[in-house]
Amino acid sequence: MSPYRVGFYLILNAVFSITIILLNKWIYAHGIFPNITLSMLHFVVTFLGLHVCQKIGVFEKKTVVLDDIVILAFSFCGFVVLTNLSLQYNSVGTFQVAKMLTTPGVVLIQSIYYRKHFSFLTVLTMVPVLVGVTVCFCYDIQLNIFGTILALSGVIVTSLYQVLVNSKQSELQLDSMQLLYYQAPFSAILLCFCIPVFEHPKTFNHVWTVQDMAMVFTSCFAALFVNLTTYWIIGNTSPLTYNMLGHFKFVLITMGGWYLFEEKTSVYQVVGILMTLCGIIAYGHVKMKEGDKARLARTESLNKEDTC
């Protein structure tokens, strides 16, 4: 694989990931477009993009029973909508830090419901994440109860969604792109029923300028390309590369929020963000080391079998 090609996709993913979060924050801050409707458009554009990819042979379409997708689609809707609401009602820095709670959330769910064992080091890396998030929230100058509830609700639903996706992928023998191909349209339909209930009709009386519509469509296409480039990076690079890219995006998005939206940040909040980032980096390092040991053990086992 050409390093230039890898570098191109890494840059592309970083640009689109940063764009979609900062652009969505801008859209919400200026009241241009309602949250659930924007999420629904993201799903529609993502499905259309994946349909094109399927037609040109990027991935193979598989037959799936609708019942297998229903629960996944509901959790997908909750995950995306609550995450966007968290972005709308919190500062970008707090939003970014809150998302990091998903990792300990997944660990907790898998420990309780799947009886999965995690090493002491893995659990230990959760400490700076939890402490860092707590410090960040406590000293957030823009802290509000409603935003905090949305952020924590988003973490719970996102953690459940990630565990469910992992289970369904294994059960249905589908990769992430194939699963999203079925999730996206069904989730869009579900949100169509939610829009009249949760979004005020007056919201749609807004007179949209060409700039407003350009922002919305850019957000939709950024959502599509974040997914496509993420799948490519996971499939063609190492876990270390993917994790380091995630840390890089975390820092740039947080700094972008401070600069673009002039978000006031206390020293304690910066310390909380750094603690959270250190915890996530440590977690990624521990998991990669454990993965290397597991692969080495399997290789040695296979070699012994061949020798016998």
Residue 287's pLDDT is 84
Using pLDDT thresholds of 50, 70 and 90, give the confidence band for residue 231: confident
Helix, strand, coil percent values for the chain (each to nearest 5): 85, 0, 15
Q: Mean pLDDT lowest for which of 9-13, 152-156, 203-207?
A: 203-207
Q: Which amino acid is at 9?
A: Y
Q: Which of 122, 226, 108 is nearest to 162 (CA)?
A: 108
- Sequence length of the chain is 308
Name the pTM for this structure.
0.86
Q: How many CA atoms lie within 13 A of 214 on its CB side?
A: 3
| Separation in Å, CA 199 to CA 14, 38, 204, 266 | 31, 11, 9, 34
> How does pLDDT run across 72-106, given as a tens digit for each residue?
899 999 999 999 999 999 989 889 999 989 989 98
Using pLDDT thresholds of 50, 70 and 90, give the confidence band for residue 265: confident
Q: How far apart are CA 185 and CA 219, in angstroms?
A: 18
Q: How far apart are CA 126 and CA 33, in angstroms?
A: 36
> How does pLDDT run across 125-140, given as a tens digit for each residue?
999 999 999 998 888 8
H/E segment holding residue 86: helix 67-89
Q: How many CA atoms lie within 13 A of 92 on its CB side?
A: 27
